[in-house]
Structure 1
């Protein structure tokens, strides 16, 4: 048995495809998914691998950088047709955004040439990236979330990039597991599959 945990939005967008490939390649290994937004005690709850954002504070755990968590702007074609698009962050105040409530309203945006702080305005906010994505696809505003959340919608033409040269830097996601003298083959195999799939998650 391999037990893996992730937050809800990351679990749905990143974890499930990895698990599907893993069980196809290793059909004798069972996988138990713990998809929750609470902080899981890996050792106490018998978790083998966790997907975690940001820097690792617990020295009893080992982290392998997985994918960037940087966020970019997206909108539906219907929203673009009706409202147009900003061509620079200075124009952001003219548009409706679906805001990520945990990040607040002010963002420092970065491009290859400059940085600037801007404020996103919008009547709807959420602490769930999947909810923000669905509202963005529905045309209720411009959304700000990582590419790995919406790669399928982008491929199907349901979302288009907004201000593609700009991003909100939020760090990275890591594969985290308890420190141990020998990493078991089932954990090592999962990490290898995850890292390979992770390469495709940061192409936008």
Structure 2
């Protein structure tokens, strides 16, 4: 049994959650994947997977083996890349996590260009608005926005975005535009439930805060977008979230003479190990793309 191939097969089974999905990724038959895992468990004399009607999950021993095996595969890939030279393309599978809306608008459209540069590379994009465990989920790099809750995280800032108070022309025609932060208290708002309902502004060294009321709270950015575009009220959001609508006029900024704290985009890598070449190059690619994006920021 080829130890490297067995490790790669096991890693793919854990990441896809089934023998059949791993077989499709590896371009082999399902019996071959099942046989490889059985041989691996026999050689190690330990059960690596729990099989149930819900799919496959690693045992405690399997999780430890998965983490070490994935790291070994990454290090082998790094060694090959170093030997082939800096011009060599990336290969293997890159697992990226990102917030759903940000990824849909700004990451997924970039993938064809990145994949064209690296024909032997595959990318798994895990969409989740929550902060997930990168090691447990086998993530190579996570794109996160805002403050990083884990101070031990290995992170690189990729971009800084503007945040504004936004609404549709339909809502503003009905309710009028606020002329000061204090006016917001009389308006309908749409709140992202993970953020505070106290909005803080600055202008010429002056600070102003307002506690907003809302009949609508949403737990995901897709819901926030849908509510705002349905003329339901004001919201605070980054330009990234309403990029095309700001450019088309479907959404407008208000209180533009006041500023809100900006929002940062980070590339976060699993703690405790060196980021892979695939993860580093993808982060650099996104950073360059977002820099060009900001140069064409909608007014």
Q: 1:168 aligns with which of 254, 257, 260?
A: 260
Query: Does 2:159 match 1:57?
Result: no
Give the SS at the match of 2:144: strand
| TM-superposition CA deviations, 1:93-117 (whole Å, max 9, x none) | 2221112222232222223542111
Query: For residues 92 and 5 of structure 1, do their structure 2 counterparts lie closer, same or farther at Cα, with a shift above 3 Å needed?
Result: same
Rounded to whole Å, the distance in 2 between the matches of 1:132 and 1:38 is 15
Which has the larger strand fraction? 1
Q: Is contact 2:192–2:221 with CA below 8 Å preserved after alignment?
A: yes
The structure with the largest alpha-carbon Rg is: 2
Kindly state the Cα deviation for residue 50 of structure 1 after the two structures are TM-superposed.
0.4
TM-score calculated relative to the size of structure 1: 0.85
Q: 1:127 aligns with which of 219, 224, 228?
A: 219
Kindly state the Cα deviation for residue 78 of structure 1 after the two structures are TM-superposed.
1.4
Rounded to whole Å, the distance in 1 between the matches of 2:184 and 2:166 is 13
Rounded to whole Å, the distance in 1 between the matches of 2:262 and 2:219 is 15
Query: Does 2:93 match 1:10?
Result: no
Q: 1:159 aligns with which of 248, 251, 255?
A: 251
Q: Is contact 2:97–2:139 with CA below 8 Å preserved after alignment?
A: yes
Rounded to whole Å, the distance in 2 between the matches of 1:188 and 1:103 is 30
Q: CA RMSD in A?
A: 2.4
The unaligned stretches of length 5 or more in structure 1 are none
TM-score calculated relative to the size of structure 2: 0.60
Q: 2:174 aligns with which of 82, 95, 98?
A: 82
Which has the larger helix fraction? 2
Q: Which has the higher contact order (CA 8 A, sep 6+)?
A: 1
Kindly state the Cα deviation for residue 83 of structure 1 after the two structures are TM-superposed.
2.1
Rounded to whole Å, the distance in 1 between the matches of 2:214 and 2:132 is 33
Q: 1:192 aligns with which of 263, 284, 290?
A: 284
